[in-house]
């Protein structure tokens, strides 16, 4: 199975900040990398697919980049509704696997 490792595991930031979350795959996954946002008590929400494609309806403040083994999710101009847990997921091979999550908290 492909292991996905996110860093950091938690992150404190202020409203208006720009933050970056990193996801590393244990082997090359080309661009088969997706990002999700999850708020407490809710299902995950797809933000970015194929490493850098913005899911319909998701604000352009979210952006993704990377290929191979290293990927990033960047969120610009943080707003209160952006504080949540973010997960990466590889869809290169079965089983699909998730990172352990990055909890973004208000400073």
Partner 1 sequence: QVQLVQSGAEVKKPGASVKVSCKASGYTFTSYYMHWVRQAPGQGLEWMGIINPSSGTTSYAQKFQGRVTMTRDTSTSTVYMELSSLRSEDTAVYYCARVRDTIMANDAFDIWGQGTMVTVSS
Residues forming the site for partner 1 (CB under 8 A): 32, 34, 36, 43-46, 49-50, 55, 87, 89, 91-101
**Separation CA 101–CA 107 (nearest Å):** 18
Q: Between 14 and 94, whose beta carbon lies closer to partner 1?
A: 94
**Separation CA 107–CA 105 (nearest Å):** 6
Closest separation between CB of residue 16 and partner 1, Å? 29
Element of type H or E holding 90? strand 85-90
**Separation CA 56–CA 6 (nearest Å):** 24
Q: Between 76 and 91, whose beta carbon lies closer to partner 1?
A: 91
Q: Between 17 and 65, whose beta carbon lies closer to partner 1?
A: 65
């Amino acid at each position: 199975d492909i292991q996905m490792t996110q860093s950091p595991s938690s992150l404190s930031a202020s409203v208006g900040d720009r933050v970056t979350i990193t996801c590393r795959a244990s082997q090359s996954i080309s661009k088969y990398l997706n990002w999700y946002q999850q708020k407490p008590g809710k299902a995950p929400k797809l933000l970015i697919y194929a490493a850098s494609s913005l899911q319909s309806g998701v604000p352009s403040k979210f952006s993704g980049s990377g290929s191979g083994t290293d990927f990033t999710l960047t969120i610009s101009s943080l707003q209160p509704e952006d504080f949540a847990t973010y997960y990466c997921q590889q869809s290169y091979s079965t089983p699909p696997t998730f990172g352990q999550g990055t909890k973004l908290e208000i400073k």
